[in-house]
Amino acid sequence: MSDHDLSPLPGRTVLVTGATSGIGLETARQLAERGATVLLHGRTDEEARAAADRLVATVGIDAARLRPFAADFTHLDEVECLANRVVAEHPHLDVLVNNAGIAAPERHTVTTDGNEIAFQVNFLAHYLLTCLLEPALTSDPGGRVVNVSSSLHRTANIQWNDPNRARRYSRLAAYAQSQLALTVFAADPRVTAVSVHPGICDTALMPLYAHEGVTPAEGATNVVRLCDPAVEIVNGAYYDRAERVEPAPAATEDRTVKRLNKLADLLVGRTA
């Protein structure tokens, strides 16, 4: 199915995390242009509102289709507040796009919650958000989650005994671990989910990959396609741009999914 074959999305409600720049902003734009109501997440209220205003002013998006939300993913209590607000205001959510992400810093950095910052922002915050939004995503059949992952997940391993990589830190290894975790999490059976490598795009994360990439708009088309209910998906599937391919072997192992969920519940303070 080509981009031109995608269906209009009126009546659909989609939350896009990290929607103030790059692929997230372009994903929000393309979804809103198709008629979806987009819950546009930013790190702060000001950033989220500015992104919404930008789409209205530069692209002509109907302001009624854009709802700004804020949460700093380096603080898990803000993630919880975000989820509570979304469920209260939108008890039915069609799609959650887990897109927010950062490049791991050069120096080992731990959040106030005690987690390595890339692991928390790129994976743990999305894990917590998805779990808390499960009632809204499953209120009607067809709810889905799209995890914006990375081909670098293939180079990763999860340090089960030291997920915060306190003993041996490498920014590339820390980032790759967060992407592998996000890819593994797509196979969780609670909500139908897929993960996608949108391509190497000219965003703040590009230095991790290469010196040049495609535009964020091109990368976003690979995300938006998976938000369309006309595109059938299988739980746990992984896409490299528009093509479904096999992820790293660990991402298909049931025991790895269960072990990751147990670790994530511990690190975000959830009880089974």
With both helix axes pointing from N to C terminus, report the angle between 254-268 and 171-185 in degrees, rounded to the nearest 10.
110
Cβ–Cβ < 8 Å for 118, 173? no
SS3 (DSSP) at 8:
coil
Q: What is the pTM of this model?
A: 0.93
How high is the mean pLDDT of the chain?
A: 92
Among 56-70, 107-121, 124-138, 191-205, the range scoring the smallest mean pLDDT is 191-205
Q: What average pLDDT does this structure show over 169-176?
A: 95
| Amino acid, single-letter form, for residue 67 | R
Which residues sit opposite 76 in a β-bridge? none
| Amino acid, single-letter form, for residue 87 | V
Tens of pLDDT, residue by residue over 225-246, are 999 999 999 999 999 999 999 9
pLDDT at 26: 96
Sheet containing strand 13-16, strands side by side: 66-70, 37-42, 13-16, 95-98, 144-148, 193-197, 238-240, 243-245
Whether 205 has a pLDDT exceeding 90, the answer reads: no
Catalytic residue among 127, 175, 238, 239: 175
Residue 234: both structure tokens together: 């299988």
* pLDDT interval class at 18 (50, 70, 90): very high
Whether 206 has a pLDDT exceeding 70, the answer reads: no
* pLDDT interval class at 8 (50, 70, 90): confident
Percent of the chain exceeding pLDDT 70 equals 92
The half-sphere exposure of 251 on its side-chain side, counting CA atoms within 13 A, is: 31
Cβ–Cβ < 8 Å for 247, 153? yes
Q: Distance (Å, rounded) from C-alpha 118 to C-alpha 235?
A: 25
Cβ–Cβ < 8 Å for 197, 246? no
Cβ–Cβ < 8 Å for 54, 64? no
Q: Other CB atoms closer than 10 Å to residue 173's CB: what's the count?
A: 18
Residue 58: both structure tokens together: 């530069």
Active site annotation includes 169:
no
